[in-house]
Amino acid sequence: MAQLTHDQELKDKLSAPLAYGNPNFHDVTEAVSIISEVKTHRNWYIALAITGSITGMMGLMIAYLIVTGVGVWGNNAPVGWGWDITNFVFWIGIGHAGTLISAILFLFRQKWRTSINRFAEAMTLFAVACAAIYPGIHVGRPWRAYWLFPIPNEFLDMWQNFRSPLLWDVFAVSTYGTVSALFWYVGLVPDLATFRDRAKTKARKLSFAIASLGWRGSATHWKNYEKAYMILAGLSTPLVLSVHTIVSFDFATSILPGWHTTIFPPYFVAGAIFSGFAMVVTLMVIARWIYKVEHLVTMTHLENMNKVILATGCIVGYAYATEFFIAWYSGNPYESYVFFVSRATGPYWWAYWSMVTCNVISPQFFWFKKLRTNIPFMFVISIIVNIGMWFERFVIIATSLHRDFLPSSWGYFRPTFVDIFTFIGTFGLFLTLFVFFTRFLPIIAIGEVKGMMAANAHEEHYLDEAVAASQGKEPVGAAH
């Protein structure tokens, strides 16, 4: 018996288990579908009331902004970009983990991505929705926001300036939102068919029948579907890199010290993935507990996400270090000033050191298995990381702008209550969308989890053989 447990431990170490117990295909359907099929719980309405009122507060703030003007924010010379762009970059970054999980980990055949990808993709969409608010309201006259797109218009005989990185951003973010929504929907179709086939009421049956487009799961369907999924993953991978790359171009094409540095593109991408994974951990820890899917979203999933957080945290640390080193190595007084004075010791020192503590130091705890498999601990760290990543964007924007080249143009950014409540409001929107998502849609990719289980059945014998061989024994069932 002890031998058996020991062998199982070794097998788990070689290939960490992705499902607890041994659920069969039907159990998976049941566990995920039931979430949306049971009668709406009172707590759900309470949750919706809370998140909905926060969203409503954001609506009020935006209405006030539109009626009064952008002056209600703390933005002013010299800090012309304040919390609006900080929050925009923050939310866009959060979204990146969803695409990473659905596309990049798919291409790398990382099986643990199933059972968290649906959730993470939803997060992408909701985060992009929150991010998209900011450029829309920052243009000053939001009713003219469609001028961002190259549509001929009757008022001005002119065209968009394609030399501006801000316009690249419009294309990048709208492409990203569209492709993510399509990718998400394609993944949903077979599961919506499952919901359709299980529906008890007419209304439910009809709505899921329409949403699943008549999906039958024939071999022909799956053939084209898998090809489409592979292609979308192949397209989304460079796409997700491009989005934060282009966001980084907003800063790095300028000649402002602290903004203009060539490592910005990959550094922004790594930071985005870092913050996004932290957000997935925060939300997943709560969701798997509320919806009782701990057997599908296991400790292995959480631990792997924490490893990604550690890895991307180190990349971000590498980028900080490189920036500092090159600022010194260049011998350029402006570069040195912005890093060694404006950031590390100037009026924003507290923001800078909060950022370093949260982003570089806090993930280092995940070197220890005990800590990265401890749920309350990872929950706290995941929130700290997101605080750190918010500070990163704030530090980049505020420290580089607040001391202009002329000391007479120095200033200090303070957010107004509109800044603060709008930002809090975006969390309301983000969570409201989640509250709806978890109530009505399959929060775990049912079909994909089953496919992964079928593949795992074939994998067992490799593990048995490896463990037996390490003990110098003939493997059980070696005749196979």
Partner 1 sequence: MADKTTIHGMVGDFDSPDQLMDAIRAARKAGYTKLEAYTPFPIHGIDDAMGAKPSILGYIVVCCGAVGLTIAILLQWWTGAVAYPLVISGKPMFAFEFAIPIIFELTVLLSAFGAVFGMFALNGLPKLHHPLFNYSGAEGITDDRFVLVIEAGDHQFDAAGTREFLLAQGAAKTELIEE
Partner 2 sequence: MSQSHHHPVNTDSYYIPDAIWDRGRNVLGAMFLLGWGAALAGYGQNHDQFFQSYLVAFFFAFSIAIGATLFTMIQHLTGSAWSVPVRRIMENIMMSLPVLGLLFIPVALGLHSLYEWSHPEFVAKEVMELKKGVYTNFLNPKMFYIRAVAYFLIWSFWAWKLYSNSKSQDTTKALGPTFANEKWSAPGMLLFFLSGSLASFDWVMSLNPHWYSTMFGVYCLAGGAWGFFALLTFIFLRFRANGIMVNSVTTEHYHDLGKWMFALTVFWAYIAFSQYMLIWYANMPEETIFFKMRRTGSWEAMSGVLLFGHFIFTFLLLLARNSKRTLNVLRFATLWILAMHYTDVYWLVMPNFHKAGIAFSWVDLATLSAVMSTVGLAFWMRLRKAPLAPIGDPRFKKGLEFQNV
Residues 241-270, interacting with partner 2 (CB under 8 A): 241, 245, 249, 252-255, 260-266
Asked if residues 173 and 242 have their Cβ atoms less than 8 Å apart, the reply is no
Contact pattern from residue 124 through residue 163 relative to partner 2, giving x for each residue in contact according to CB under 8 A and a dash for the rest: ----------------------------------------
Closest distance of CB 458 from partner 1, Å: 9
Inter-CA distances, 18 with 303, 331, 400, 402, Å: 11, 52, 45, 49
Which span sits near partner 1 by CB under 8 A: 128-136, 166-174, 377-385, 459-467? 166-174
Which span sits near partner 1 by CB under 8 A: 121-129, 179-187, 272-280, 411-419? 179-187
**Separation of alpha carbons 134 and 83, rounded Å:** 9
Neighbouring residues of 132: CB distance < 8 A, sequence distance ≥ 6: 173, 177
202 binds, among partner 2, partner 1, none (CB under 5 to 8 A by kind): none
HSE-CB at 6 with a 13 A cutoff on CA atoms is 7
SS3 72: helix
Nearer to partner 1, 253 or 357 (CB): 253
Which span sits near partner 1 by CB under 8 A: 96-104, 190-198, 426-434, 459-467? 190-198
Nearer to partner 2, 312 or 386 (CB): 312
Neighbouring residues of 151: CB distance < 8 A, sequence distance ≥ 6: none
454 binds partner 1 (CB under 8 A): yes
**Tokens standing for 152?**
């001929």
Nearer to partner 1, 97 or 172 (CB): 172
**Separation of alpha carbons 249 and 480, rounded Å:** 56
Q: Find the helix or strand (DSSP H, E) in which 403 lies.
A: none
**Separation of alpha carbons 427 and 52, rounded Å:** 10
- Which of 359, 354, 358, 324 has the alpha carbon at shortest distance from 338? 324
178 binds partner 1 (CB under 8 A): yes
Overall size of the chain counted in residues: 480
Task: Find the angle CA(98)-CA(100)-CA(101) to the nearest 5 degrees.
Answer: 65
Closest distance of CB 203 from partner 1, Å: 17
**Separation of alpha carbons 19 and 120, rounded Å:** 18
Nearer to partner 2, 439 or 461 (CB): 461
Residues 215-234, interacting with partner 1 (CB under 8 A): 215-228, 231-232
Interface residue with partner 2 among 21, 152, 331, 407 (CB under 8 A) is 331
Strand partners for 76: 79
460 binds partner 1 (CB under 8 A): no
102 binds partner 1 (CB under 8 A): no
Nearer to partner 2, 316 or 389 (CB): 316
Inter-CA distances, 182 with 179, 189, 236, 387, Å: 5, 11, 11, 30
Closest distance of CB 311 from partner 1, Å: 26
Which span sits near partner 1 by CB under 8 A: 86-94, 117-125, 209-217, 353-361? 209-217
**Separation of alpha carbons 225 and 222, rounded Å:** 5
Asked if residues 280 and 97 have their Cβ atoms less than 8 Å apart, the reply is yes
Which amino acid is located at 383 in the chain? Answer: I
Which span sits near partner 1 by CB under 8 A: 49-57, 242-250, 381-389, 395-403? 242-250
57 binds, among partner 1, partner 2, none (CB under 5 to 8 A by kind): none
Strand partners for 79: 76
Closest distance of CB 210 from partner 1, Å: 8
328 binds partner 2 (CB under 8 A): yes
Which span sits near partner 1 by CB under 8 A: 47-55, 354-362, 419-427, 448-456? 448-456
Residues 175-234, interacting with partner 2 (CB under 8 A): 226, 230
Asked if residues 148 and 170 have their Cβ atoms less than 8 Å apart, the reply is yes
160 binds partner 1 (CB under 8 A): yes
- Which of 18, 11, 6 has the alpha carbon at shortest distance from 463? 11
183 binds partner 1 (CB under 8 A): yes
- Which of 90, 15, 21, 93 has the alpha carbon at shortest distance from 312? 93
HSE-CB at 181 with a 13 A cutoff on CA atoms is 11
Closest distance of CB 363 from partner 2, Å: 12
**Separation of alpha carbons 174 and 380, rounded Å:** 33
Q: Is the dihedral angle over the CA atoms 150, 181, 113, 110 positive or is it negative?
A: negative
Check residue 38 and report its DSSP letter.
S
458 binds partner 2 (CB under 8 A): yes
Which positions lie near partner 1, rule CB under 8 A? 24-26, 29, 150, 157-165, 167-168, 171-172, 175, 178-179, 182-183, 185-186, 190, 193-194, 196-198, 210, 213-228, 231-232, 235-236, 238-239, 242, 246, 249, 446-448, 450-451, 454-455
Which positions lie near partner 2, rule CB under 8 A? 10, 13-15, 108-110, 226, 230, 238, 241, 245, 249, 252-255, 260-266, 311, 314, 318-319, 321-323, 326, 328-333, 336, 367, 458-459, 461-463, 465-467, 469-470, 472, 480
